[in-house]
Each structure stands twice: as C-alpha cells, then as structure tokens.
Structure 1
C-alpha cells in the first residue's frame, strides 16, 4: 500500500499533498478550475545573520543559582529572563504556482492521488467527454518541479499560468517563461499561533541584506499557442503541456551575508531549466523515480492482512480506522520515510518543524528547529529505516551549530565547549530566546541541546561503523559538547555533580513552599543527557584508542553525576527534588529520555518507575507526543499499549490548521500537534521499528513489543546498531526467518531461546543452540546469513 487517494480537491492546506526533493517543496491542491502548487525552498528564511549584542551573563547566573538554593523559584524565573536573547529567524514560504483552467468546474470522476513509491502526485477527472490529467514531481537529480498537463482529446487544454508570493516580489515574463523575483524579510517576529500584530519589516527591494530569491518557469508543449503578458502565460488549444519550475536563492552559508541582486540567481535558473527541458519528460520522470527509489525501496513492511477499508479514500479510512486495519499501519510507516526523503537530502538543510512545507509568513513557532525534542525526533527513523544519507543534513547543521555555540558559550557564560538552547535556524542561532511578554525559561532557557544533538552523531556511527566519521567529524564535536557540560556542572552539598539553573522542557512544578516554578537544579533530563554524552565519549575514545587526561576527567564525572531517583508516587522523579507536577498529564515526558531515545534505563527499579511515570502521564497527547509514548511503550515491551496509542494517532484532525483541538493526523496524513508539526510522522515510523526490533542494549531483540493484532508480517531492509541490515519475518507472533547482512566487520548478537539453522551461500547449514538465551555470530564485511528458527 503506497497510495494516498481522495475524491475531492484540497480546500485547506492540510488537505494538499506534499512533494519535495529535499530542497524544493510543494503542496499540491488539485483544484479543477484553479490548480495550486504552494512552493517552498529550504534556504528561504528571514534575516541575514545578525551581530548579537555583547553579553555577560555570569552575574545573572550566580544570582539564579543562589535563588534556587534559597528555594525562591519565582525570583529565579525572573532573574533567568535577564539571560534571554533574540528570537530565531523564521522559515518563509516561496509563493504559488497557479494554473487557471478555462473548462469550468463541472467535473466528474475526480481522483487525486500521491504515489509515495514513486513520489508523484496526480489529478484525473472528466469535463464532458474529455479526460484531463495532471502529474507532478520534484526531481532531485534535475532540481525542478515538473507538472504535466494533458487532455484526452486534441487541442482541449486552455490554461493561464501565473506565479505569486506572499513575500515582497515582482513578476516578469518573456515569450515562453515566467519569472518571480523577491526578498525575504530582514526580521520576523515569532508567531504564537494567532498573534500577527507585529508587522514584517522589509528592507528596500534590492537594497536589503536579506535573502533574495528567484523562481523561473518554462513551458514545453506539442501543439497549441502560447501568449505571454502581464506576468502570466496563456496556453490555448494545446494537448500536452509540461511546466518546469526552478528556484535559486542568494544564501551563501550560515555565517555569511546573503548575496545581493538577481544576476547570479538568473544564471543558475537558466542552466537548471535548460538542462531539464532538453530531456524528454518521460526520461526526466524515470530518472526521478530511479533516484528516489534508490532510497525508498530499501525497506519493505507488510502485516499481511488486507481489509475492504483499503478501497476507501485516505481521509475516510483514517476516520473509520480500527486496530485491524493493518494496511493503514503500513502506509503511515512508509509515509514517514517518504517525508524524510522529500525534506532532507544530502546537501540540503535539515527538516525543520514542518519538514520543508510552509505557506505562512508567520508560521507557528516560526517553523524553525526546536531542539528540546522536535528536531531530534525528525531524525529518529533515519538510521533504522536505512536512510542514513538523509541524516547527513542534520549532522552538518550540528557541526555548524558547534561553531556558533562555542562563541555563544564563551561570550555569555565565560566557559569552554559549545551548546545551543531551545531553538535554532538557518543561521545556526545558539542563544536562549524569549522576552518578558512571551518568554518562559521552561522552554527559552534550556542549554542542553548540544548533548542531545551529539547523540545523533554517535548513532550515525553505531549504525554505520564508520570509524573515519567518528574520528574526523563526530568525536571532536562530541568532545566540545562534553567540555561545556564539564564546565557547566556544579557540586551539590553531597558532592554530586548537578546542573543549575535547570529546566525540564516545557513543564512547571509546585515546590513544597507553594511556589510555582520552572527553574531549579538537577532536572532528570539534564542528568540523563549528560550521562549519555559522557558515556558515548568514553566509548568513542576507547574505539579510537584515545587515553588522555580529558577522558579520565569525563570518566570521573560520570561516577559523580547525581543518581536518578524514584519519587513518592513510585514514579521516576522529573526534578532533583520531588516536586508536584503543575500538569500531571503534560505532553512532554522529558525525564524519560533515558528510556527512549537514550539507553541509561534498560531494566530494574528505574524502568518500573518509568512505567509508573507513563501511567501517571496518561495516553492522551498530540501527534508528536503520541509518537514518543509509542516508542517508550515499545521499549517497555507493551505492545497492547502501543496499539492503544495507534488508535489515538489514527484520529482525523480538523483540516483547519489554526483550530487547537484534536491531534493525530490531518486528512493528508501529516501530523497534527495541532497545528501541523511533522515530527509526529517521523516518531511514528521510528516507533514501528522499535515494536519489531531493538538493538540499544548491545544486542538485538526480535519482536519485543508486538501488538496482538500484528500476528504475521515482515520487515526487510532495516538497520540495527553494529552495522547490520536485517530482513525479518514472523508468523503467529513468532520469528520464522531472519536474514542478516554485515556492513562492517562485527559480532552479531541476538536474544533467542530457539535453535537456529544458519545458512550461508556456498556452505553447509549449521545448527546453533542459544547459550544463556543468546546466539552470537562473528561476521565480516558484506557477509550474509539466513537464519531459520526451529
């Protein structure tokens, strides 16, 4: 099942279908009389990199720590606000490609689809006896949006094509082309849902320091007539028409001013269009499919059972979802992979809060990179679902953020290393954000994104086994982050190392003295993130043969970190002191990082306390929160709880993005916070893998949290830590076959009580018995085994 299908055009943005090549994005609406492609480009952000004012927060830091020790939490919040900085810049929409049909709107047999196996959207309908079709894709190899328009009868295509933007822009046209030129705002205040009272500030057109952009559209047609005037193209009496759209921006790098003028952009677009338009459309399309499927076809997922619901359109199917509609489980899993490929390709920017798709100049939360969960969540499925290349944009951004973060840390706090706070943007903003009106330290002051981001560097190594990457890229950045943590930690009255000030994103607490606070010391998440980073650094140093004084310092610090604690309700404490939750059912479960995606809590009383925490939090939540809880319950090996969360996730949310009700999915299957956030899609895809296969304990576990409705199935092409690729089949909830390919010389260890027949091409079968519940197989690079379970 690789098809999203609908019997009506999109009326709302959250009903349109997303296309992307990592850099260029489009939302395809599929209207009959008026077709619209809402366009994006991943470097189209407000502002140049601005010089921040001089900071020296050491005195405020001293005051906050003293207030916390005195349990004056309300004053601590006020003093922490003195360390706030500017907001990030905002991700901007590019504009719209509009196609006006002159055949009226009396359409019949309407069908709109998105084929996620080919990354192609299409529209089909009839007007009278004539069938009209549209087909669209965004090519990664050729960097264009291609839209083919056809009619079943000759000379029946009559359309008017135009480009526009919500940014400051101008259009022009030649005999066969349309040109859209414009600029981004120099500054853009953040949007907290509906607060649009602060105007966008534009520089003078052509004299601004903001990013310039140019989109250019070319046309290829077999017959008919093309007229050009007033910034529009009119195509009359044609049969087949292909539109090609290219876009370039003046972005030069995270630490450079954008270019000015449009000459360079025009040259780039002309070269791109010239190459794409010289190739027959079917050849361009086939090249696009082959490039896309090189990534997409690596993983297959089937749960075997098919229902009549698969004949329903996608929006109807979500509305009627029930636990045995396993085809929808499969579709949404692969949709997450489709979205990651479409919004994050090597050489592009990372997927932001909305992936690559945004139509608002004041997007929710600026459509930026939110680092206290959301950005990291976007990439949870990258390595495990065999999309390591799609992880590279985030890894590159982490390297860039370590540069700005190092400067920020020294200027603000006078210490070494690097980190960043709650948000970042195209310019790799590392400062805390906020103001007296909107800012709250519970999200604005969170200097722990460096350690969390570094876990992605480590995971990339674990899945690939690439020691060159570990030595040259990952370890130096991890070391810088760990150095910040060493300098940031302080000793408490019992000699333990803790953080202060400390928050637990985005939650408040009630202290024993009755004060409500968000700033305290030693939040559990801080301690888990630092433990994770420190232990990864020590393991990396061992792999690389590093044995120096700095590593000994890290090892000593690990032993001195404050232990995690169990609170009065049997729950894992969220803070160092056993405060009461301000919101018992809060959507964040930050203090469970050590369960997932971390590895600190894998068994014993702390794992049971984590289970109690989840029970107290409850299963309610919005898209991304449900996805995180799904991953957590998978780690807790409770497949039925995962199934209950799926029932909530497969909940249709109102298509109107601004309505803050519901959760789950929009009609186009994008995740609803609401409003739209793409992390819900990505966390779901990661959660499916965690249900079926886990490798975070140093060995592989098969079917650790399988829901009872997933009786039979297969998952092939996924990766596990250690550099292995897995094909897994099961029947009656028992593993029947496992194929293993080694991509880096290593030992494959998996947990089982079954006797296994080990097959290798060209060799006799070997019968292997488990020892203490485990089987271990030493494998060389490219070696393949087929394992049959008796």
Structure 2
C-alpha cells in the first residue's frame, strides 16, 4: 500500500522540520523540495568540532572514599560540591556534531507559475522525488543517498531545456545569516570542491565535492563560484570525506564523484535500490482498513490522528531512518563506522542541542531497541564498532583505572566522535554515572539471542568482559538500616532525576544502589554467564561474578505507595514526580528482569510506578513517550499503547514525521517502532528449558488496525515470524522460519557458521495465539503453526 510506504506533500518545505531525509549511513541530506531555490542541507557523520581531548579528572580517585562516605551519611550538598570539584572533567564538555554544508539549486520557478506540485519520499526505494509543471514543462527531480557509490545523487529532468545554477557552501542553519564556515571553494571543470575545518585543536578536515554531467546537448559553465547548467537531463553527485577515516580525504572524495559520474544515473539508481532493498525488504508491515484520511498529504494525516495505515507508515519510516543513519559501510575496515547519534544523521545546527552526541543514559540505546526485531541486524555493526573503541586502553580502560582504580573499562553519560569516556558536562543528576558503557553491552547477548551468531558473540566477548570487570570493582559492600549488607554502587544516581531525602528532606542526587544501576549490572552479569556457557569457556571471573550476584540487593517496593523504589532501598520522594526518565523500570523494558508471569508482585509495583509518573505529567518528550509505549506493550495493555501513540503524534511529531523532544531527536521515532513490533510479537525463553515462547499480538490495540499482515519479525531464538490477522485473531497459520545464518556482519568470521546443524535441529519453541492456543514447533522449519 502506498499509504504505508510513502511520505508525500503538496507544497515545498518552508523550514528544516518539514524537509525530508535521505542517508546512506554516513552521508545524509535534508531535502526541501523548493521550486525557486532548492535547499539541500548536508551531513557527514564524522564532521565534528575539535579533536580528541585529555579530560580524565585527575583528583577523582583520591577523593572517591570521601565521596562514598558523604553519600553514605546523606550529606548531599557536600557530596555534590565534591563531585563538582574533583569528579567533573576539564574541559567539562565533549565535542559536538556539525553540518557538512548546503547545496542551493536556483531553478527560478515561482510558486504562482508552478502547478501539479508533489514531493514524496518512497520508503521502499529510499528515493526522494519532487515533480511539478512550470508553464509547458514537466520537471522531475529525484535524489538518493547511495551506500554502493557513497554519494548523494540528484537527477534533474525536464521536458524542455532548463537553465539552473548550482552552489555549494557551508552557511549557518539560520538562512539569512551570511557567514560561511569553510576554508575554500574552488569551481572548475564541472565541479565544485569545498574544504572545511570545523574548528578546535586537531579537528577533522572535510572535503565536499560536487560534480555535474548532462545529456549530450546540455552545457555546464563555471561562473562566479557556481555552475550554470542548461540541459534536459542532468546528473549531480555529491561526495564527502574527512580525515577521521582518510588521510587523503580530498582525493577519495574526488574519486567518489568521478566513479559515480562514470557509472551514470541508471546504474546508480539500480544498484542503490537493489542494495537498499536487501535490508528493507526483510520485514514488512501492512495495516488496515484504509480511511479517507490516509489519502491526505502526510502533514495533514498527522494532524488527523491515528489510523492503522499511519501506524504502519510510522513503523516503516522508523526502519528507513535507522537504515539511513546506521547502514554499515562497504569498506572492509568497519572499525570507524558510527552509529545513529542523537539526531540520527541529520543535524542543521552548528550549535546543536546536547551537541547531537551519543547519549548513553537511554537515547543511544533506544535507537537500537527495535533494530533486531525489525530484522535490521546489519545496522548493529556501527554500534559495536563504537563499543569496541570505547573499551580501548586509551579511552574506557584509562577512565576506569584513573578515576576509580578499577579493572576493565567504563563510559559515562555521553560520548563523541573520539569515543571519549570521561564525565560530560557539570550537571549533577547525570554527569557522574559510569554505567553508560555497561548498558550498551546488553546488545551483545541480545544480538546473539536474535541471530544465533556465535562469531559475533565471540568477537564482542572481550568488550563484555571488560565491562563486567569494571562493575565488579565499582560495587562496594554497604550496610543498610534493615540490618543487611549488600553489594551496591556508591555513588549512584537515577539518570537525570533528583529526590528529597526521606530522613532530612534535603534535596539530593546521589544514593546507594539505584534501581537503574542494579538492573544494568545484574543483567550484565547474567549476560556474561550466558555468553560463557554458549561459548563453552570458563574465564577467571566466573566465580567472582557468581558470588557477587548473590550479594546484590533485591528490588524494593515502597509500602506507602506500592511503587518500585527508584533510589534503591531508600524511600526517597521525587522532586519531579512526572520526570521524563523511567530508569527504575528498565527491568521491564528493555531488559526482561521483571515479567508479568514470572514476577507478578514486582510487575504490579513497576506498573504502579508508571501510573504515578503519568499522573504527574510524565511522557512529555518524544523519547520518554516512546519508552512509555514500550513499557505498556511489555505490560500487554493495548489501550494504553494506543492512547500514548496518539499523544506522541499530537504533541511530539513534526510535519516530516520526525519525533521532537523538542527539538528533533531520532530516538522517539525508533523507540516507538520498537514498541509497535513488541505489540505484534513478544519472544522469551522458558527458564531452564531452552524453549522459546513466541506470543502473537500480545498487546495489539484495535486502533492500530483490525486487519493486517506482518512478515519477517525476528524473535529471540533466531526465528522469523510472519502472519496475517483479522479482528484480533490470526487469519490462517503463523509461519515460523529459522533465521540462524552465517555471520555476514563479521567478515573476519570467514566460513564459520553460527550454529552446528544438530544444534539448530534441536531448537524448539511454542507459538501462543491471541485466543490462548499453544502450538509447539521444533527443528529448522519452516513451521506452519
């Protein structure tokens, strides 16, 4: 259905929040679709201000015992003062992401002479198209970002010869500002070459090159730093490289342009679509019935509210966004691939909110929650590349040793292009929290559960073990008022939240053993044991991990409110009861520590916590609302899912379907898609039996569609599930296919397969239908249940 795979508009974008994105994982563009002067805002994922910094706090380790004492005694003001003086980095902030530049194409077609205007983004081909009539001429402009050719390609076609001007620059995101943030622009031989240095010590340098070819009758003239084109058919290609990956960055960018122009438009388009669809077509989602609102332009559909087809479009768009901002490179060396940042790939500002960095206290993780269920396994590779760089001796290992005297490695609440692991900024509720890296490591075991990829698991094991080593040393034994001693984190915090001390009523940030910390660490330890068992290894840490797990405190429930305690055993009161973070509920989602069936008491307490947050205004940012959606889907409350998705559209969605914090943050889009797929299928293991449970439509709201078809949903256990349904019940049979395969994410794995044939044949599971029926399956399949 076109309504589930196309965003379209009947007018050009008047601002960046109305423009449409394309990207190849590294190179991106926001397209405005203007007929007068088209504006293309360019990004390259390694264009960041400044170089690597030495920011590790020098006085943290010798002050750590004193800080722990202050936290233990509830002397909050003194503890925060000490953190500010001894534990914050200097300089306090990490590097920030910047735009690459902008292309302006002056067509000169005025709005009052243009008819039959339409611009659209086709999610099935990743091609943007603007078309209109100008007088007697039909104008068609198509654009794509090719991962094969590593260029942005633009095809301009007109029924008659058309003259237009092409300019390349690097202006501020404020359109009327005249300052250009570049080093030089040279125009010669049908090309424009722009060099830029974002600024700051040891900054990367960037080269952006634009080249033009026309049909045989066409001409290209250099004039005043611009290219004047006069042709019926024109191909424009844009390439960019930086010194982050290439010492000869200028030459590589030039080679990209030359190769793409030589290949020509037809082959660029064919190769791009074929490559893109190998990933995008792994999954499909169609929902109905269709409504009259579904035929409207996308911005008007958003205003009308939830329809089944709009839910499908939102999900498919989110898949497209992750593919476009986290597609692995074609280079044999993928160690410098970068994951989707706070804005994915698309940032218009030289001073972006929160630096458009990689934020590790939920946002980067949320970007990838739906990656595996939505069968976008290759998109995980850039995340693992960053994870390995975080763990390097000069990065995370150094921070762990010099700040905390610990083994292994750690990373705090943010990181940047240079994999900086030191505390970021001077904000007490967030800065001193060294578990960002440990949380990222949860994707290592999760990747195996969904893919059964043993080589990838083995490659990532040293990173996982390093995080385990750090957490073992970060935990300390503390005595609590209940007379028991536990291993907990101290200092600890619940990311970005604050409390009133239950004893002194003093406002505080640091506690001992927050629920978030203990959820992350206990899950990390459990993953470690599972990985060791799967790889059949017995490293030296096994006994230490086992003993430590027995020393962790159990989750605590507030007797007065019935909610899950956020601040560990202490019953502190919230300064902001409707806080956007729901860190105490990580055990429900994305982790699986708290389960409706296996731990009903804790599940009820977690749900009570969620109710209190919502009653006090929680979910007021896009990503926070997305986490709410994920939690309600895991709680199997479809009406709450529908209610919060409607709120996401109404209050946190921009005209181009981007989620808005505000401003735009991609995590809201990707987190909401993870929730939608969780409503379709939930997959868990029956503990001790090695059997997978695949729950079909466990939380599907009627507002999301009374009929539909989902294909290629990937599940834990290495299964792909496809099915149709009508009115809440499966229509026909559920197809379960074995998805375990050779590890194409890791070229170094060679011919090694993920699972031996006998192991695959012994795998088993059950499908749980919406009406409660249970059908067992075993072996390779495919199974029709």
Q: What TM-score comes out, normalization by structure 1 length? A: 0.89
| In structure 2, C-alpha distance between the alignment counterparts of 1:536 and 1:143, rounded to whole Å | 37
User: Which of 475, 479, 485 pairs up with 1:495?
Assistant: 485
User: Which of 706, 715, 718 pairs up with 1:723?
Assistant: 718
What do the CA deviations read for 1:444-480 (whole angstroms, capped 9, x no partner)?
A: 1111112211101111111111122222x22221111
Q: Aligned ranges for residues 577-616 of structure 1 at < 5 Å?
A: 577-602=570-595, 603-616=599-612
In the alignment, does 2:104 pair up with 1:98? yes
In the alignment, does 2:207 pair up with 1:214? yes
| In structure 1, C-alpha distance between the alignment counterparts of 2:774 and 2:545, rounded to whole Å | 32
In the alignment, does 2:686 pair up with 1:686? no
What do the CA deviations read for 1:487-519 (whole angstroms, capped 9, x no partner)?
A: 010111122111100110110101121211111
Q: Do the aligned partners of 1:119 and 1:292 also contact (CA within 8 Å) in 2?
A: yes
In the alignment, does 2:546 pair up with 1:552? no
| In structure 2, C-alpha distance between the alignment counterparts of 1:162 and 1:644, rounded to whole Å | 46
Per the alignment, residue 181 of structure 1 pairs with 195
SS of the counterpart of 2:279?
Answer: helix
Per the alignment, residue 196 of structure 1 pairs with none
Report deviation, 1:754: 9.2
User: Which of 731, 738, 741 pairs up with 2:734?
Assistant: 738
Per the alignment, residue 83 of structure 1 pairs with 87
User: Which of 485, 494, 497 pairs up with 2:471?
Assistant: 485
Per the alignment, residue 566 of structure 1 pairs with 557
Per the alignment, residue 168 of structure 1 pairs with 182
| In structure 2, C-alpha distance between the alignment counterparts of 1:148 and 1:469, rounded to whole Å | 39
The number of residues matched between the two structures is: 718
| 5+ long unaligned stretches in structure 2 | 172-180, 330-336, 687-692, 741-759
What do the CA deviations read for 1:342-399 (whole angstroms, capped 9, x no partner)?
A: 0011133100000000111111100000000000100111111111001110011111
SS of the counterpart of 1:383?
Answer: coil
Q: Aligned ranges for residues 617-766 of structure 1 at < 5 Å?
A: 617-618=613-614, 620-651=619-650, 663-698=651-686, 699-709=693-703, 710-736=705-731, 737-744=733-740, 745=760, 747-752=763-768
Q: Do the aligned partners of 1:56 and 1:413 also contact (CA within 8 Å) in 2?
A: no
What do the CA deviations read for 1:52-83 (whole angstroms, capped 9, x no partner)?
A: 36624123221211111111112211112220
Q: Do the aligned partners of 1:172 and 1:230 also contact (CA within 8 Å) in 2?
A: no
| In structure 1, C-alpha distance between the alignment counterparts of 2:518 and 2:318, rounded to whole Å | 31
What do the CA deviations read for 1:498-555 (whole angstroms, capped 9, x no partner)?
A: 1100110110101121211111111100000001000111111112222354211111
| In structure 2, C-alpha distance between the alignment counterparts of 1:71 and 1:396, rounded to whole Å | 40
SS of the counterpart of 1:428?
Answer: coil
| In structure 2, C-alpha distance between the alignment counterparts of 1:285 and 1:426, rounded to whole Å | 31
| In structure 2, C-alpha distance between the alignment counterparts of 1:786 and 1:688, rounded to whole Å | 24
SS of the counterpart of 2:429?
Answer: helix
SS of the counterpart of 2:701?
Answer: coil
SS of the counterpart of 1:645?
Answer: helix
What do the CA deviations read for 1:724-757 (whole angstroms, capped 9, x no partner)?
A: 11112222212242111113315231253799xx
Report deviation, 1:125: 1.6
Change (3 A) 1:753 1:681: closer
| In structure 1, C-alpha distance between the alignment counterparts of 2:594 and 2:109, rounded to whole Å | 63
In the alignment, does 2:330 pair up with 1:330? no
Q: Do the aligned partners of 2:37 and 2:108 also contact (CA within 8 Å) in 1?
A: no
| In structure 1, C-alpha distance between the alignment counterparts of 2:224 and 2:317, rounded to whole Å | 40
Report deviation, 1:230: 2.2
User: Which of 297, 305, 328 pairs up with 1:321?
Assistant: 305
Per the alignment, residue 766 of structure 1 pairs with none
Report deviation, 1:442: 1.0
Per the alignment, residue 660 of structure 1 pairs with none
| In structure 1, C-alpha distance between the alignment counterparts of 2:268 and 2:321, rounded to whole Å | 21
Q: What TM-score comes out, normalization by structure 2 length? A: 0.89
| In structure 2, C-alpha distance between the alignment counterparts of 1:485 and 1:54, rounded to whole Å | 19
What do the CA deviations read for 1:27-68 (whole angstroms, capped 9, x no partner)?
A: 001111100110000111111212336624123221211111
In the alignment, does 2:266 pair up with 1:282? yes
| In structure 2, C-alpha distance between the alignment counterparts of 1:105 and 1:543, rounded to whole Å | 63
Q: Do the aligned partners of 1:458 and 1:474 also contact (CA within 8 Å) in 2?
A: no
| In structure 2, C-alpha distance between the alignment counterparts of 1:275 and 1:620, rounded to whole Å | 48
Per the alignment, residue 689 of structure 2 pairs with none
Q: Do the aligned partners of 1:747 and 1:776 also contact (CA within 8 Å) in 2?
A: no
Superposed CA RMSD? 1.6
In the alignment, does 2:106 pair up with 1:122? no
Per the alignment, residue 447 of structure 2 pairs with 460
| In structure 2, C-alpha distance between the alignment counterparts of 1:103 and 1:321, rounded to whole Å | 34
Q: Do the aligned partners of 1:90 and 1:363 also contact (CA within 8 Å) in 2?
A: yes
Per the alignment, residue 239 of structure 2 pairs with 246
| In structure 2, C-alpha distance between the alignment counterparts of 1:6 and 1:302, rounded to whole Å | 21
| In structure 1, C-alpha distance between the alignment counterparts of 2:769 and 2:449, rounded to whole Å | 26
| In structure 1, C-alpha distance between the alignment counterparts of 2:219 and 2:488, rounded to whole Å | 73
